[in-house]
Structures are given as C-alpha cells and as structure tokens.
Amino acid sequence: MKCAICSSPLGPPEENAHHPLCSARCKMVDLSKWLNAEYVIQGPPSSMGGPGDGFAGIDLSEFDE
C-alpha cells in the first residue's frame, strides 16, 4: 500500500501512527485539500449547502444567548 499524498510505501497500520498516510506532513496536506474543497464526495447535493456556506441549513438557535 502507498501513501495517497506522496506515494511512499506504507508499513502495517499498527506500526504507522499516520496510517493511511505516511507522515504528519502528508496528513496536513490531506486536511488542507479537504478544507479547500479539493476533494468531493460524489452524490446528490446536500441540503446543508456547499463549500463556503458556513452553517447554512444547520439550526444553531440552541446556542443563541
């Protein structure tokens, strides 16, 4: 198995704290891609809105002061 970010070979999951990635650096690169909407999950549009919509569609009234 190879790291999804840099293609480095991966050892067994029990020996790699960063599995399924190879390092903390690759974990941060992966997180950045999710946060910048570079990855998408295929399917119909969500009722919760898309990237940049913040909390659109989520009832936050319980947190009002």
CB of 45 closer than 8 Å to CB of 51: no
Q: Which position has the higher pLDDT, 36 or 55? A: 36
Which residues, other chains included, contact 59 with Cβ-Cβ below 8 Å and sequence gap of 6+?
A: none
Which residues, other chains included, contact 6 with Cβ-Cβ below 8 Å and sequence gap of 6+?
A: 22, 26
pLDDT of residue 22: 94
pLDDT of residue 39: 84
Beta-bridged to residue 9, according to DSSP, are: 2
Domains annotated on the chain, with CATH: 1-40 (3.30.50.10)
CB of 23 closer than 8 Å to CB of 31: no
Give pLDDT tens digits for 4-49.
999 999 989 899 899 999 999 999 999 999 898 888 777 776 666 5
Angle among Cα 52, 62, 59 to the nearest 5 degrees reads: 35
Stated pTM of the model: 0.59
